[in-house]
Chains A and B, each alone.
Chain A
Amino acid sequence: MRGKVIRDVLVKTGNVVTAMTAGLIIGGLIMQAYGYDALHAYYSLLRHALGNPLTDAYPLTSTLSLATPLIFTGLAFAVSVRSGLFNIGVENAVYLGALGMVLASGLLRADTPLVLIIGSLMGLGLSVLFAFVAASLKVFRGVHEVITTIMLNWIAYWLVDYVRVNVFPDPRDPSKTIAVPPSARIPLLIRGTELSASFVIAILASLTTYFILWYTVFGYELRATGINLMAARYAGMKTSRLTIYSFLFSAVLGGLAGVCEITGRPPHYSITTGISNLMGLGFDGIAVSLIGLNHPIAVIPASILIGALNTGVRGMQIEARVPFELVRLVQGVIVVSLALPGLLSTLQKYLGIRRGRREVVVS
């Protein structure tokens, strides 16, 4: 039994490595075609993403720090896929989690850890509220979650931007909101880096999610509903209620990404123009979840991989002088090839069921 699990993990890791290699080769060929030294570029990518941790902690900690929000959003998306939903609302959960912290900082105007507690509660509350809208529309009116969550993403976006411009702008720098007070910030793990204790919280969230999905009846029912709604109903599960819970679960995880991002990342500790420091974290979570095959534990290495890529591409620009546009292109190629195995197996499952149905012959 144990041997089987290990073999399974090895096979799946092998798939990721193969996909990654393929992505690197394609990306490299593109860079060569444009006349840049691909090997040098990749070398600088690696150096900036990992460096030598013994002498310089900065590269590795940057990687882990960039991975932290992705762990949360990856988990949030994994939970929704496991329960049969394609919940894009993780993106707005991130915005709203951060918004809660800003509101608490602005309203309390006190430098106390209480802001962190009240702010996270407000942030998560807002995320959950938005998710509840999408969930109710899905359950009671049959509106597909992709439609509603995309709309809610934009509502959240402009709501946050309104607060940034009109309610709580930073008096010294109106391009950002006011900052979270120092004593409400999540402490850094290593002084002088960007790595805060929110990385630890992310790991704990991942373990908790794993535990809930596989060691509670709730998780069992959530997964059952996600794979086969008919069978779940047959087994007496309250599938509508489970769908709502799944939305809320995702919203809490997404909201945590927002909270941690704004309380645990120097130097801003605030929401910046156009929500630029939060935008896309939810969507990156989709890629992370697919790379990790929607498994809560596998989401951790997947996030670190993407975090490393995000850190390392800076090196490609600075050292190997690859232009920004090309760097983004190569990065895209690598992410797509990484996500491909997960995407294929998800598609296969879907098509497989369809094909199975078609083969049933009644005479």
Chain B
Amino acid sequence: MEDTEATGPDECLVSMKSVVKIYPDGTIALRGVDFTLRRGEIHGLLGENGAGKTTLMKILAGVLKPTSGTIYVGGRKVGFSAAADALKLGIGMVHQNLSLIPSFTVYENIVLGLSRRQLLNAKEGINKLMSLTGLKVPLDERVEGLPFGVRQKVEVLKMLFRNVDVLILDEPTTNLTLTETRELFNVINGLRRMGKSVVFITHKLREVLEVADRITVLRRGRVAGEVPRVEASLNLLAQLMVGKDAIPAVSRGVSTVGEELLIVRDLWILSDLGTWAVKGVSLTVRSGEILGIAGVEGNGQKELVEGLTGLRRVEKGEVIFRGQRIDNLPPSELYKLGVAHIPEDRVQVGLIQDFTVNENSILGIQRSMFFRGFLNTLAWDKVVEHASDLITKFNVIVPSLFSPVKYLSGGNQQRLVVAREISKEPQLIIAAQPTRGLDISATEHIRGLLLDLKKRGKVVLLVSSDLEEILQLSDRVAVMYEGRFVGVKDVGELTEDKLGLMLGGVSD
């Protein structure tokens, strides 16, 4: 695992050369990325969804193996087979989803996995570390009772206690309040003074400018630019992040925009962690219109969609569809009113993997009288007819109508979901990430279907982190950032740096 080979200048603690990562399902996450990290440096790693930030850092932390490429740590070539190997060389990562054990105390979590010898004087060691770094956490309290910000500090402390020199933080501010973010930045600055290196993964432009010494921008698995802090500006970073080719020149088709069918006023929705995920969102969509909601994932889009589709409680605000209040109505009622939902997660939500194609083709419309037969039973002949109708009309390729959908490819699964939802003849369709992970033909097909709905005067609410998709389909675009809309613009008014700024949380 270690053959010595001289690399660049001495202060380069870590250097990664032409790293490529192809996932088993064929997704190319990194297409040859170079990355260097100096001693005592805070390095911002910026990019939108799918740019490859997390993948790159997981490789550095030994969580993932690169398909090709080399990594040097302290001038020596290394190959990690587990996160523990990286930790031995002083590289630790705090993941976006924290990995603490809720029923253990903070102290137990920090020392978890250490040897008996390391446990001697551990408490004093941790206390010393806390006063040194300013990270104050209650050692004897159970983690389950602590707010998210404190839990994150515990993770950081856990890594520091293992004597890491390189600390990787993956989108650390996502669930933090403003004050907590401030505190975190103070800690990061303190770490720099201690000579530690920090990689700060984020999509937030202001934050990266505030804290980083050097910024590497990734775009679609490639390095779009590497800028020292002094040369960086909001506009430059936004442009690098989004790219010049972001805005496609596609004719969207003309439709007659009609009355306002969907009106949302001051919507507030909680996240699973009990913090506000949606903070007072308002929007209106007219018939024959597609409203695109862009944004980097984790800014409240998921909760917004779940709130609108009856899967999550709306705490405050109102949703009016065709003059009727529909907030907090159950999904079955929403369906009757003509609302269809293409969920973000087709594997776990949109389909039942062990059910057959037939069975899945009526998911959500199972109570429709259309599928009832003699004595109110489920008439399988009608279900089969419906399913075969769907797969021929929407080009879904299936081994058989009677095989479980888990044997369908991802693209065909999604086509089935979209086909089913469109077959409900909805007045309003809420499509979340409708083409994620699909090949070009499936993507084009599904986008065509959404445009077709719009032309027929329906309302389409498109939530996507794929900018190209948002720009290609939407008439108006809203960008969501930290639970709010940064702005709602006609698609014609958008330029790439304006869009990049909005994604990074900067409104004009």
Residues of A near any B CB (own CB < 8 A): 1, 4, 214-217, 219-221, 223-224, 227-228, 230-238, 349, 356, 361-363
Contacts and interface: CB of A to CB of B under 8 A. Distances in A.
A221 B349 contact: no
B399 to A, nearest CB: 10
A363 B29 contact: yes
Contacts of B50: 363
B67 interface: no
B49 A363 contact: yes
Task: Decide if the interface of chain A is mainly helix, strand, loop or mixed.
Answer: helix
Interface in B290-341: 297, 309-311, 330-335, 341
Interface of B: 23, 29, 49-55, 58, 64, 96, 297, 309-311, 330-335, 341, 343, 345, 347-355, 359, 362-364, 366-367, 371-372, 376-378, 380, 400, 402
A220 B55 CA distance: 40
B349 A231 contact: yes
Given A227-B354, A230-B348, A231-B363, A361 B341 contact: no
A1 B400 contact: yes
A86 B237 CA distance: 54
Nearest to B53: A363
Task: Decide if the interface of chain B is mainly helix, strand, loop or mixed.
Answer: loop
Nearest to A359: B24
A215 B23 CA distance: 41
A231 B377 contact: no
B124 to A, nearest CB: 37
10 contacts: A4-B400, A4-B402, A215-B377, A216-B376, A217-B367, A217-B371, A227-B353, A233-B311, A237-B332, A361-B64
B335 A234 contact: no
A41 B371 CA distance: 55
Contacts of B366: 217, 220-221, 224, 235
Contacts of B49: 362-363
A234 B349 CA distance: 7
A317 B348 CA distance: 52
Given A220-B359, A231-B349, A236 B332 contact: yes
A236 B402 contact: no
B378 A215 contact: yes
Contacts of A231: 348-352, 363
Contacts of A235: 331, 363-364, 366
Closest 10 pairs (CB-CB, A-B): A236-B332, A236-B331, A363-B54, A235-B364, A235-B363, A363-B55, A215-B377, A228-B352, A231-B352, A234-B349
Contact of A224 (B309, B332, B347, B352): B352
B51 A349 contact: no
Nearest to A211: B377
A230 B349 contact: yes
A349 B354 contact: yes
B430 to A, nearest CB: 12
Contacts of A356: 347
Interface-centre pick from A219, A230, A363 (highest chain B CB count, 10 A) = A363
Given A227-B355, A233-B331, A362 B402 contact: no
Contact of B402 (A1, A237, A361): A1
A1 B363 CA distance: 22
A134 to B, nearest CB: 25
A232 B51 CA distance: 33
A362 B297 contact: yes
Given A234-B349, A361-B54, A220 B378 contact: yes
B364 A228 contact: no
Nearest to B360: A231
Given A224-B363, A230-B345, 6 more contacts: A217-B378, A224-B352, A235-B366, A236-B332, A349-B354, A362-B297
B311 A234 contact: yes
Nearest to B57: A363
Contact of B341 (A214, A220, A221, A234): A234
Contacts of A361: 23, 29, 54-55, 58, 64
Nearest to B348: A230
A216 B378 contact: yes
